[in-house]
Amino acid sequence: MTRPVPALPERPTIDGLEPKWAGRWDAMGVYDFDRSRPRAEVFAIDTPPPTVSGSLHVGHVFSYTHTDAVARYQRMRGRTVFYPMGWDDNGLPTERRVQNHYGVRCDPSLPYDPDFEPPERPGDRQIPVSRRTFIELCERLAREDEAAFEALWRRLGLSVDWSMTYQTIDADARATAQRAFLRNLARGEAYLSEAPTLWDVTFRTAVAQAELEDRERPAAYHRLLFERADGTDLEIATTRPELLPACVALVAHPDDERHRPLFGTTARTPVFGVEVPVLAHRTADPEKGSGIAMVCTFGDTTDVMWWRELQLPTRAVIGWDGRFVADPPAGLDTEPARAAYAELAGATAHTARERMVAMLREQGRTAGDPQPIVHAVKFYEKGDKPLEIVTTRQWYLRNGGRDPELRAALLKRGRELQWHPEYMRARYESWVEGLNGDWLISRQRFFGVPFPVWYRLDERGETVTDAPITADESALPVDPSTDVPPGYSEAQRGVPGGFTGDPDVMDTWATSSLTPQIAGRWERDDDLFARVFPMDLRPQAHDIIRTWLFSTIVRSHLEHEVLPWRHAALSGWILDPDRKKMSKSKGNVVTPMALLEEFGSDAVRYWAASARPGTDTAFDPGQMKIGRRLAIKILNASRFALSAGAAPGNVTAALDQALLAELATTVDAATAALDDFDYARALEVTERFFWHFCDDYLELVKARAYGEHGDEAAASARAGLGTALSVLLRLFAPFLPFVTEEVWSWWQEGSVHRAPWPKAADLRGQAGAADPDVLTSATDVITVVRRAKSEAKLSMRAEVRRAVIAAPRAVLDRLALAEADIRSAGRIQDIDVREQDGEAVEVAVTF
RNA sequence: GGGCGCGUAGCUCAGCGGGAGAGCACUCGGCUUACACCCGAGCGGUCGCAGGUUCGAACCCUGCCGCGCCCACCA
């Protein structure tokens, strides 16, 4: 039977494959999720929704490629892959982008203007717009960005099912976040609390522990002179003298001999003359500063701890805007104290510090000059001013931060999860162990998911916070600033005896911690949710273990009492050539689309897939060139093999059987690596085999495949070529989806991405009992012949008159099986063999 | 301060108990029944340092040095 000759292109090229195949895959539904399949046949991926605040960068291309390789592998293994894309468009990044892009700012006090149109170009001054207008602009810009993101992902060849795309701000996501919150509230896991809160004065919002970062900042110890009860001076070192009016106590270590006599007595603050107690606390450090600290409400989190544990009064001085409040705190009762405070009122912390120090100096209440130091200060990771601590009412979600049982349960979840690479688990553990409070989930911002609650107003119009009115689950999503709570009418909004909506929105992580529930349509499609949840894989970058990964586990643990996924695959970062993390803010970043256009998507994917899981990797166009070369080689080698008649069939020659035996080993290695999410290893072993196939096997058999040694011998060679090519294309398909699909289409039916993953056992069956080392020995001989030609500065095509091979009997036997191929490949006229002892194989060549 | 990871050829990295490897770069040669976006050959390393375990260590143990990251109550 003759097979149809494949339609081979004259000069194949990898250029233009991306749009061609992206379009066909979409039309053919190659990556559609089949929701009729049972859970055991589903591979569900909790795709990271990229932040929509500008553009994707090389790091995204890098890590999403890793996930895509795994998705494609699982699909070829016969699973139906649940692989949605999401856009993380809620939250501060979008707000900031909208402010800059349109030149506007949100003023919630303004009424909605339906005809508002932003200017073509942002002006010098930001235009105030209503909350609703602001949100509309956020949505508009997000949609534009999302379209550009999708185009990039399609060009990169991500095998996502685009029918399942979600946005973290869309109605379904809002409803899901609100539903989960209401359930948390009903179970007592979410609660409202008025407490000192880390506060960003620029964005005027509370910030959670997970969003903090330390930055080294220059500061100085100022030594202030307090007055002991007996009238003598007491030196107190502080880096924040401006907080003196907020001082509520002095604290030293209980064993500190210097200060022990003072415990139980009081001291007076300089300038303000306020009497404060001297107290002992085990966490006071005798080595630090003067060994005795002033406790202010609040300078840092240590102050908060002492304030809480020692039950101290509150004398807050810093307001929401970071400036000193107008009225002096309680305790500043004397006229001089009030006058001194008036100097600080309205000032920023920086200005207040200068004025406070000046006043202290004038009154002779400092000891010596300030001593400069450098110390770590807490910042909001997206902010550029140090955080203050402000007492506010906020929503919290229990996360084990103040509950040892829950913390232990969450640590246990971390041990249940399979981490790739394994050592990333340590980051989770140290984070959970270091939690110092519950998760603050409310933000005083606009573009986010509102809390689905309202509060009663009493007869005087004061908000009653202890019994929030909750939305009905069936009404979700709600916006309490426009929707009305059950049993009320809009006329009652904001009036005494009526209601008011909760003004805050949820932390972006409070939404994205629910990506499995959002994508799996929890409570909206029970059948789907049961088929995909808990999911198989959470791929993500290692820097958001403490935020996204941890918070997702918290939500799943609280709501479903189960781990949200079985595996977590952590990807590294892309580093600049100078080894710094590559990020947009640093500029000079190559845009991904330009890379895809220059090298081709397969080439860029090759670079990404070459990096070890979890490892930070240098941006390396050199690797992309190699990937491009590999893709072109696949094209050319395939065309050549097919033009020589490559087609699956029975292999009868020992050399061909040996090839398939070697290939079986490669299939085993690649399969084991991908089962372990080690895409890089799978690619490496496949690539190594492929070059061996091209350089050695193809060279050895091409004459035979062309029929120079007879029809039967040719048939075996063509079967060896065809079988190996089919397997190799499938092994490469997860990494180089475009070129493999192109070649597949020349001679096979359907998509290679729906073809079954190769089975080593099948190859071993075809290889039979032949000596698997025949190919190795033949390769050794032609390598020596090539070297001889190189050294003689001859063309590879030069004729060899005679080759004398001296080798052990076993090797000679193997070579005999492939002698005709060796002669053709080396252009050798006569081969003489001589048996010798030992392992060595020697070849003497005469031209 | 605690933890994790990494230091192997000029560069990027693999190898993690028994012959020091790959690709790039470099040198030399070659238009070979596909591929000059190519092919062949070659040069190149006290495997961070110092001890220890072992018949044997790049690989295991200890200490140190350097780099990166994570965490930490930062007066």
CB-proximal positions of chain B, under 7 Å: 2-5, 12-14, 23-24, 28-35, 37-42, 67-75
Q: Which among A340, A391, A345 has a CA at the least distance from the CA of A365?
A: A340
Burial of A407 (0-12, 13-18, 19+ CB in 10 A): middle
**Count of C-beta atoms within a 10 Å radius of residue A515:** 26
Domain chopping of chain A, boundaries:
205-389, 452-503, 620-770, 774-846
Contact between the CB of A434 and strand B at under 7 Å? yes
Q: Which nucleotide is nearest to A236 (CA to C1')?
A: B75
Q: Which amino acid is at A719?
A: A
Q: Which 230-249 positions of A have CB less than 7 A from strand B? A: 236-240
Q: Regarding predicted confidence, which is higher, A564 or A255?
A: A564
CB A54 within 8 A of CB A592: no
Q: How far is Cα A213 from Cα A377, in angstroms, rounded to an integer?
A: 8
Check whether A579 has a pLDDT greater than 60.
no
Residue A136 CB-half CA count within 13 A:
12
Where does the pLDDT of residue A26 fall: very low under 50, low under 70, confident under 90, or very high at 90 and above?
Answer: very high
pLDDT score, position A217? 85
Average pLDDT over residues A579-595: 63
Check whether A2 has a pLDDT greater than 50.
no
Q: Which 249-278 positions of A have CB less than 7 A from strand B? A: 251-252
Check whether A730 has a pLDDT greater than 90.
yes
Q: Which nucleotide is nearest to A433 (CA to C1')?
A: B71
**One-character DSSP codes across A245-278:** GGEEEEEE-TT-TTTGGGTT-EEE-TTT--EEEE
Burial of A782 (0-12, 13-18, 19+ CB in 10 A): buried
Distance A426 CA to B52 C1' (A): 29
Give the CATH fold of the A620-770 domain: Isoleucyl-tRNA Synthetase; Domain 1 (1.10.730)
Contact between the CB of A126 and strand B at under 7 Å? no
SS3 A204: coil
CB A160 within 8 A of CB A85: yes
Q: Which nucleotide is nearest to A631 (CA to C1')?
A: B37
pLDDT score, position A6? 66
Average pLDDT over residues A5-16: 84
Give the CATH fold of the A774-846 domain: hypothetical protein PF0899 fold (3.30.2320)
pLDDT score, position A19? 96
Burial of A478 (0-12, 13-18, 19+ CB in 10 A): buried
Q: How far is Cα A387 from Cα A380, in angstroms, rounded to an integer?
A: 7
Distance A397 CA to B55 C1' (A): 61
Structure tokens at A819: 């002698």
Q: Which among A367, A327, A331 has a CA at the least distance from the CA of A345?
A: A327
Distance A549 CA to B5 C1' (A): 20
Burial of A369 (0-12, 13-18, 19+ CB in 10 A): exposed
CB A3 within 8 A of CB A39: no
Contact between the CB of A66 and strand B at under 7 Å? no
Q: Which 620-639 positions of A have CB less than 7 A from strand B? A: 620, 622-623, 626, 628-629, 632-633, 636-637, 639
Q: Which nucleotide is nearest to A300 (CA to C1')?
A: B74
Check whether A53 has a pLDDT greater than 80.
no
| A213 Cβ contact partners less than 8 Å away, ≥ 6 residues apart | A378, A379, A380, A381
Structure tokens at A609: 């897939």
Phi (first) and psi of residue A843, to 5 degrees: -130, 120
pLDDT score, position A589? 60
Average pLDDT over residues A794-801: 91
What residue has its CA nearest to the C1' of B24? A622
pLDDT score, position A479? 94
Average pLDDT over residues A378-399: 92
Extract the annotated binding site of A. Answer: 584
Q: Which among A732, A725, A762 has a CA at the least distance from the CA of A746?
A: A725
Contact between the CB of A69 and strand B at under 7 Å? no
Q: Which nucleotide is nearest to A373 (CA to C1')?
A: B74
Q: How far is Cα A679 from Cα A521, in angstroms, rounded to an integer?
A: 30
Contact between the CB of A640 and strand B at under 7 Å? yes
Q: What is the mean pLDDT of chain A?
A: 92
What residue has its CA nearest to the C1' of B34? A640
Q: Regarding predicted confidence, which is higher, A584 or A364?
A: A364
Contact between the CB of A542 and strand B at under 7 Å? yes
Check whether A413 has a pLDDT greater than 90.
yes
pLDDT score, position A587? 41
Average pLDDT over residues A63-68: 96
Out of A125-134, A580-589, A626-635, least confident range:
A580-589
Where does the pLDDT of residue A672 fall: very low under 50, low under 70, confident under 90, or very high at 90 and above?
Answer: very high
**pLDDT tens digits for A497-516?**
999 999 999 999 999 999 99
Task: Give the H/E segment covering residue A470.
Answer: strand A463-470
pLDDT score, position A352? 95
What residue has its CA nearest to the C1' of B71? A430
Longest CA span, chain A: 115
Query: Which segments within A524-616 are labelled E, that is strand?
Result: 535-541, 565-571, 574-575
Per-residue b/e over A646-677, b at no fewer than 16 CB within 10 Å?
bbbbebbbbbbbbbbbbbbebbbbbbebbeeb
Phi (first) and psi of residue A845, to 5 degrees: -115, 130
Asked whether this chain's domains A620-770 and A774-846 adopt the same fold, the reply is no
Where does the pLDDT of residue A172 fall: very low under 50, low under 70, confident under 90, or very high at 90 and above?
Answer: very high
Average pLDDT over residues A51-74: 91
Q: Which residue has the tokens 């690649």?
A: A670
SS3 A19: helix
CB A295 within 8 A of CB A307: yes
Q: Which among A745, A721, A744 has a CA at the least distance from the CA of A732?
A: A744
Q: Which nucleotide is nearest to A302 (CA to C1')?
A: B73
Q: Which 455-514 positions of A have CB less than 7 A from strand B? A: none
pLDDT score, position A123? 85
Q: Which residue has the tokens 């929704």?
A: A49
Q: Which nucleotide is nearest to A839 (CA to C1')?
A: B19
Q: How far apart are the first and last CA of chain A?
A: 43
pLDDT score, position A287? 82
pLDDT score, position A837? 82
**Count of C-beta atoms within a 10 Å radius of residue A121:** 8
pTM: 0.93
Q: In Å, how far are A86, A213, A298, A613 from A573, measured between CA atoms?
A: 21, 18, 37, 10
Contact between the CB of A431 and strand B at under 7 Å? yes
pLDDT score, position A585? 43
Q: How far is Cα A720 from Cα A723, in angstroms, rounded to an integer?
A: 5
Contact between the CB of A112 and strand B at under 7 Å? no
Extract the annotated binding site of A for ATP. Answer: 584
- Indicate left, alpha or beta for A2 from its phi (over 0: left) and psi (-120 to 50: alpha): beta
pLDDT score, position A584? 46
Distance A667 CA to B25 C1' (A): 32
Q: Which 186-225 positions of A have CB less than 7 A from strand B? A: 209, 212-214, 219, 221
CB A770 within 8 A of CB A813: no
Cis peptide before A108 (omega within 30 of 0): no
Q: Which amino acid is at A720?
A: G
Structure tokens at A95: 């707000």
Contact between the CB of A100 and strand B at under 7 Å? no
**pLDDT tens digits for A717-729?**
999 999 999 999 9
Give CA A63 to chain center in angstroms: 8
Q: Which amino acid is at A178?
A: Q
SS3 A781: helix
| A170 Cβ contact partners less than 8 Å away, ≥ 6 residues apart | none
Q: In Å, how far are A625, A698, A798 from A795, measured between CA atoms?
A: 27, 18, 5
CB A325 within 8 A of CB A319: yes
**pLDDT tens digits for A454-482?**
999 999 999 999 999 999 999 999 999 99
Structure tokens at A341: 């405070």
Contact between the CB of A791 and strand B at under 7 Å? yes
Distance A340 CA to B10 C1' (A): 67
Distance A105 CA to B34 C1' (A): 62
CATH code linked to domain A205-389: 3.90.740.10
| A463 Cβ contact partners less than 8 Å away, ≥ 6 residues apart | A455, A456, A457, A500
Q: How far is Cα A437 from Cα A426, in angstroms, rounded to an integer?
A: 20
Q: Which 286-315 positions of A have CB less than 7 A from strand B? A: 286-289, 291-294, 299-302, 305
Average pLDDT over residues A822-840: 89
Q: Which among A246, A269, A239, A203 has a CA at the least distance from the CA of A350?
A: A239
Q: What is the 3-state secondary structure (H, E, C) of A662-710?
A: HHHHHHHHHHHHHHCCCHHHHHHHHHHHHHHHHHHHHHHHHHHHCCCCC
Q: Which 571-590 positions of A have CB less than 7 A from strand B? A: 579, 581
Q: Which nucleotide is nearest to A290 (CA to C1')?
A: B75
Q: What angle do CA A280, A284, A285 make, to 5 degrees?
A: 135
Structure tokens at A551: 């918070």
Where does the pLDDT of residue A838 fall: very low under 50, low under 70, confident under 90, or very high at 90 and above?
Answer: confident
Check whether A580 has a pLDDT greater than 70.
no
Query: Which segments within A154-291 are labelled E, that is strand?
Result: 166-167, 190-200, 205-206, 212-228, 233-238, 247-252, 266-268, 275-280
Distance A427 CA to B3 C1' (A): 8
pLDDT score, position A577? 59
CB A320 within 8 A of CB A199: yes
Q: Which 719-738 positions of A have CB less than 7 A from strand B? A: none
Distance A662 CA to B19 C1' (A): 22
Burial of A175 (0-12, 13-18, 19+ CB in 10 A): buried
pLDDT score, position A786? 93
Contact between the CB of A798 and strand B at under 7 Å? no
Distance A689 CA to B49 C1' (A): 38
CB A684 within 8 A of CB A752: no
Contact between the CB of A284 and strand B at under 7 Å? yes
